[in-house]
Amino acid sequence: MSEQPVPTAQAQWSTTVTPVVAALTTLCASTALSGVISGARWLGHAGIAVIVVAAVGLGLRAMRAPTLVVGIAQLFSLLLLLVALFTDSGVLGIFPGPEALSDLGAVLGDSVEAVRTGVPPVAETRPVLCLVVIAIGLVAVLVDTLAVAAGAPAACGLVLLCVYAVPASLADELLPWWSFVLGASSFAVLLAVDGTHRHRLWRNRPALPSTGTGVGSPVVMVSSALALGLLAGALITGIGTVGSLPGGGNGGGSGGGLALKPFTKLRGMLDQGNNVELLRVRGLGNQSRYLRAITLPRFDRNGGWVAADALPSDVPAGLGMPPAPGDRGGGQETRIEIEPVNYEDLWAPIYGNPRNLRDLPDGMFYDQAGGMVFSHSMRKLDRYIEDADLSEPTADQLRQAEGDYDEIDPGYLVADGIDPEVVTLAKLITNGQASAFDKALALKKHFETSNGFQYKTQTALTSDEDALKEFLFNSKTGFCEQYASAMAILARAAGLPSRVAIGYTAGFLSGDYRSITTQDAHAWVEIFFPGQGWVTFDPTPLADGRTYEPPYVSADPSTGPSTTVSTEKLPSNSASTTAAPRSDRPDPDQQAGNLGQRAQGDQGWPWQAWAGIGLGLIAVLLVSLTTTRRISSTRTFALTAGFLAGVFLLSLLSWWLSGLFVVLALSAIPAAVRDLYRRQRRTAMAGPDDAATAAWTELMAESWDRGAETSDTDTVRTAARRLAKEHSLDEGSKQALRTVVNSVERSWYGGRSERDPELARAFDEVVSGMRKSSPLDWRGRLLPRSVVAPRKKGRGE
């Protein structure tokens, strides 16, 4: 008979423990987003989304709501959360009305734009936080449904894998190791909890069986799969990482592939709202040159111009740099100091042909073929010095350059797969030109504004073949990505070795240095000429003096009018499609000071955070001081402190959300009070005094909660018979009820005060029978009658 209460506990296991562990697993997996989102505030938003979804699921399943209703309610609660957090026009602050939905749609539009232009790690902007709540909330709904409703927690692994796959495909570095540990550990716990639940159901075990740590246990299986996955990802592919585990060697002559498309990063810098200073350059004087960071040698018809699959690591960046192809090494050197300010990347930007590089850290390499200085991991560089050859050939020298391209990789001439219409256009433009240089000039002139081309940044999101044809033949509207991509592919179609370079324009003078900002991000074309090396051609019609026109272009009469007459300008600080004149740009020193002031202001936590943390610590301390034998007033104070801590911490996200928490907490008070009484009486049954009275009072309360009517004039036996009939108790429960009645009568009328050792067991069996044959409905759980409408007490109650 002592085993009878177990089935009830087993039946409730999947609606209590499993959803809580599933929610914890989702939250642990969401930490993978730390690889693409800066800061930590987004984790609080993800946590709130997970808690809301889990709480709604727990509440509705406790009321025995259908699975479909639970899922729909979870999605609706997620919508309410979005309205509360990201709009100010919701009905009563949380319900979606037409205006609130419109505001939410605008935020979602900004979220899409943030994804399109953002460069990881992105800032915790409002659109990004909205996207986090939506994504993690939907994942929480799926995981909760699979783990609880479908009873298939192992299938949650596929959903959680997607949570890791998205940031892994965007981040340049390996995702944080602790995120994988948290995700694997919590998923193993989810599998172990489900296995424990199934074992208890199959074998009717009252105690939790050990999950074990041997071969075949969930922990070992999941940990092994994680280790193998990380090892395979590090050795086989570089997708989403730099191709090696932290601390891995860079030997072997090649580095990993690029996880982030360079054009995506370029677009992100041009489209962002704030103009952030990246670099300060000294030594150029009044010279206006482009600062090269990376070159793209290969055109993929499905993805546009892309970086090399691997880069050589056999030439350290230092003194005595080897000449690049076509570089004869005879030019005058210029010493240039480059000071990164807010610049962090794989690349160390350089000018012209580098002869010496000083003060770069170990682990930086020089790619002669691509003209790039790079590292295998993202890093924030200190000031470094380049001795650069900035000399340039004349137009006559370029016209006389021989057509022997043995010095360069044949890949720079690959023109396979170019659309026939583009090839025809290239031949039409270059038809009749006597030299490779004249062909290059003709291609550059084709993109002048007099030919219908316009410069705008909010167009043409990609550079694949379809977008290229759209730009060349129809819209003729784009920014430097489209111009450079189009001219480079036309050059390939015309038989010229070409590549796309990405870096920065000359910036603007500020005191003794040139300031280069995010709005100076740029792309241009480089074409190889034997004996002269890679030569710059910029087809993009920029304004306000930022375009660099080399002497071989500007002094050549065949170029016609200057290509810098377009009225289109770069985006301003307000993220419009036009830019303020360079003289209106913020002073970098002042800008840095403002950034510093903001950073200092951000160091102080708001008072709500301190209040919430303080009250939370007080609650933990009070709970630790609570006695185990009796529910003391200390726990009441602990609950109050914990409640206030939740109010203040949620207010950091939204006071409306904090108010919703208060409403939910107040609605849960009757159920909490009922649970408190239940625990107090059950604890009293183990004591030497009033055990029988506590047992009988609790049985009457359980009966009253279920709507059973009793009379104050009923004897104990009469009340017991009524209870058994009203709740349709089975024979086992009736026998246990007789034991309780005998114990109560001996205590009340027989003068025996000692505790009956069978009382607690019999009480548990009666309560189990009542819950099985007469379960509480949702109203009885939320508003128990014994609390909200207590009946008149008889003797001992």
Question: Quick one: pLDDT at residue 254?
Answer: 34
Q: Tell me: pLDDT of 562 over 50.
A: no
pLDDT band at 559, cuts 50/70/90? Answer: very low
pLDDT digits (tens, 9 = 90+) for 365-409: 999 999 999 988 778 899 999 999 998 999 999 999 877 888 898
pLDDT digits (tens, 9 = 90+) for 144-163: 888 888 777 787 877 888 78
Question: Quick one: pLDDT at residue 526?
Answer: 95
What is the Cα–Cα distance from 58 to 175, expressed in whole angstroms?
Answer: 32
Per the model's pLDDT, the better-predicted residue between 777 and 221 turns out to be 777
| % the chain with pLDDT above 70 | 72
Question: Quick one: pLDDT at residue 6?
Answer: 39
Range 507-529 average pLDDT: 89
pLDDT band at 239, cuts 50/70/90? Answer: very low
Ranked by mean pLDDT, the top range of 194-208, 327-341, 672-686 is: 327-341
Q: What are the domain boundaries of the chain? A: 5-239, 669-788
When the pLDDT of each residue in the chain is averaged and rounded to a whole number, the result is: 75
Q: Tell me: pLDDT of 749 over 50.
A: yes
Which of 199-208, 685-694, 699-708 comes out lowest in average pLDDT?
199-208
Per the model's pLDDT, the better-predicted residue between 400 and 559 turns out to be 400
Q: Tell me: pLDDT of 560 over 50.
A: no
Per the model's pLDDT, the better-predicted residue between 620 and 576 turns out to be 620
- Residue 37 gets which letter from DSSP? B
pLDDT band at 256, cuts 50/70/90? Answer: very low
Q: Tell me: pLDDT of 11 over 50.
A: no
* Residue of 738, 734, 747, 735 lying closest to 694 (CA atoms): 747
Q: Which residues make Cβ contacts (< 8 Å) with residue 692, sequence separation at least 6?
A: 740, 743, 744, 746, 747, 748, 756, 759, 796
Cis amide linkage into residue 323, ω under 30° from 0:
no
pLDDT digits (tens, 9 = 90+) for 572-619: 333 333 333 343 444 444 443 443 333 334 445 666 677 777 777 777
CATH architecture of 669-788: Up-down Bundle (1.20)
Question: Quick one: pLDDT at residue 556?
Answer: 56
Range 500-520 average pLDDT: 89
Contact 644, 615 (CB under 8 A): yes
Question: Quick one: pLDDT at residue 496?
Answer: 94
Taking each continuous run of H as one helix and of E as one strand, the counts in the chain are: 27, 17
Question: Quick one: pLDDT at residue 492?
Answer: 93
Residue-wise burial string across 173-191, b where 16 or more C-beta atoms lie within 10 A, e elsewhere: bbbbeebbebbbbbbbbbb
| % the chain with pLDDT above 90 | 15
Tally of CB atoms within 10 A around 141: 25
Range 203-210 average pLDDT: 41
Question: Quick one: pLDDT at residue 64?
Answer: 77
Q: What angle do CA 712, 715, 717 make, to 5 degrees?
A: 135
Which of 37-41, 76-80, 234-238, 485-489 comes out lowest in average pLDDT?
234-238
pLDDT band at 445, cuts 50/70/90? Answer: very high
Which of 371-380, 413-422, 543-552, 670-679 comes out lowest in average pLDDT?
543-552
Question: Quick one: pLDDT at residue 796?
Answer: 44
pLDDT band at 305, cuts 50/70/90? Answer: confident
Q: Tell me: pLDDT of 360 over 90.
A: yes
Per the model's pLDDT, the better-predicted residue between 346 and 222 turns out to be 346
Question: Quick one: pLDDT at residue 150?
Answer: 78
Per the model's pLDDT, the better-predicted residue between 537 and 12 turns out to be 537
Tally of CB atoms within 10 A around 132: 22
Question: Quick one: pLDDT at residue 317?
Answer: 92
What is the Cα–Cα distance from 562 to 525, expressed in whole angstroms?
Answer: 17
Question: What three-state secondary structure class fits 213?
Answer: coil
pLDDT band at 39, cuts 50/70/90? Answer: confident
